[in-house]
Amino acid sequence: MSVAVLSIILLVLLFAFLGAGLWVAFSLLGVGVAAMALFSDAPLGLVMATTLWGHSNSWALAALPLFIWMGEILFRSRLSEDMFTGLSPWMNRLPGQLLHVNVFACGIFAAVSGSSAATAATIGKLSIPELSKRGYPEKLVIGTLAGSATLGLLIPPSIILIVYGVATEQSIARLFVAGVLPGVLLVSLFVGYVVIWALLNRASLPTEDISATFREKLFRARRLVPVVVLILGVIGSIYAGIASPTDAAAVGVILALILSWRSGTLTRATFVDGLMGATVTSCMIAFILAGASFLTVAMGFTGIPRLLAEWIGSLGLSTFTLLAALTIFFVILGCFLDGISVVVLTASVIMPMVLQAGIDPLWFGIFLVIVVEMSQITPPVGFNLFVLQSLTGRDILTVAKAALPFFFLMVLALILIVLFPQIVTYLPEQM
């Protein structure tokens, strides 16, 4: 049986499972069982038991629930309000004024929460009523939030980068470092777009009071100190080589608890809610990873990844053509699955092709995350779109239309890192 037929059979089976409403983890396990039972003589039960235990018992994976818990604690704290208060006086002189608070607040919160949906919900709850009350265009308020919240997937500590690192056996610390400059690039593109739009549409923006003195700005900026301390504690310890990502995650949880306690938002109820929220999310992701790890091993026994890699190699595709095809594939897949599922579903099949084409797997991880970011604001299953729909009460197409310019800005960022891969690789090479 040819590799194409094998792949089609397993792909149809996977979509049948998902279409029937089966959990992603069970769908992955089911496809892996079918692949081994039909196309391999290996002992199914033994392979499944050893694979599930081996991939669940991972020290690198311990960072995942800790970073998620840190995000849950901050989600229930006053951090977003403090960021808005501290940033807003500095944005008034920029064309676009307080719209930039959305971009920078999302970038900062992404750096301490690691979650795109949490960033959209937290910053959106605060900024949408405030900016709407001041008369800012709703389309741009929604668009800046939709685009900037996706930074939670890229700016470390990124949950999806941890998942990619575990799934492909890449260094999570190096992936974190590699995500910094692309994250700065995206923030710069978003700010640039808002500035250009504001200069071309001056009449559509309200006139803000810019009379605050430098001393008053510094006084309000003190509200940013806890955020800076948290970022330095988590990210700084990784970059300095003092702590591993798992150690830094534990530091982040402790600092988040202290900040929440100091702000008066840490109660028994918020502590339990945060802990349970982190437990549910962590178990879901770990279960998906376990299913994906078994599917990866099962695919190895069938020989499909190797055959696909050889087939791709025989086509003589250029690196750019392959990346363009993968971009379209991932965006389409991201329209129906969340980002983590996209990564774990495709890692076992895509990575042999990527390695065959001579693409750096570290660089490809950042490339993949940016493409997944794009899918987060692509209907019908763009998670950020759903979050903003619930916050604004607008229909999904209105929210998607507002996010469209930021989708194209991500396409531009993707082109830039393809043309200039040093944007991704420079900082990891300095470690």
pLDDT in tens, 35-56: 888 777 778 888 888 888 876 7
Whether residue 244 is contained in a domain is answered as yes
Confidence of residue 3 (pLDDT cuts 50, 70, 90): low
- Tell me what pLDDT residue 45 has: 84
Can you give the residue range of the structural domain that contains 411? 25-429
- Tell me what pLDDT residue 313 has: 62
- Tell me what pLDDT residue 202 has: 78
Whether residue 20 is contained in a domain is answered as no
Q: Which tokens belong to 249?
A: 């995650």
Confidence of residue 114 (pLDDT cuts 50, 70, 90): low
Whether residue 3 is contained in a domain is answered as no
Cα gap 24→291, rounded to integer Å: 8
Q: With beta carbons less than 8 A apart as the criterion, state whether 345 and 337 touch.
A: yes
- Tell me what pLDDT residue 333 has: 72
Q: Average pLDDT, stretch 157-175? A: 83
Whether residue 116 is contained in a domain is answered as yes
Residue 381 has pLDDT above 60, yes or no: no
- Tell me what pLDDT residue 2 has: 61
Lowest mean pLDDT, pick from 59-63, 192-196, 270-274: 59-63
Confidence of residue 303 (pLDDT cuts 50, 70, 90): confident
Whether residue 397 is contained in a domain is answered as yes
Task: Indicate the number of domains in the chain.
Answer: 1
Confidence of residue 415 (pLDDT cuts 50, 70, 90): very high
- Global pTM exceeds 0.85: no
- Tell me what pLDDT residue 212 has: 63
Q: Average pLDDT, stretch 315-319? A: 75
Residue 59 has pLDDT above 80, yes or no: no
Confidence of residue 383 (pLDDT cuts 50, 70, 90): low
Confidence of residue 362 (pLDDT cuts 50, 70, 90): very high
Q: Average pLDDT, stretch 207-220? A: 67
Whether residue 19 is contained in a domain is answered as no
Confidence of residue 409 (pLDDT cuts 50, 70, 90): very high
Residue 215 has pLDDT above 90, yes or no: no
- Tell me what pLDDT residue 418 has: 92
Determine what percent of the chain is predicted with pLDDT higher than 70: 86
Q: Average pLDDT, stretch 217-221? A: 72
pLDDT in tens, 255-293: 888 888 887 888 888 899 888 988 887 787 778 777 877
Whether residue 215 is contained in a domain is answered as yes
Confidence of residue 366 (pLDDT cuts 50, 70, 90): very high
Q: Which residue has the higher pLDDT, 383 or 425?
A: 425
Q: Average pLDDT, stretch 202-214? A: 67
- Tell me what pLDDT residue 43 has: 84
Whether residue 7 is contained in a domain is answered as no
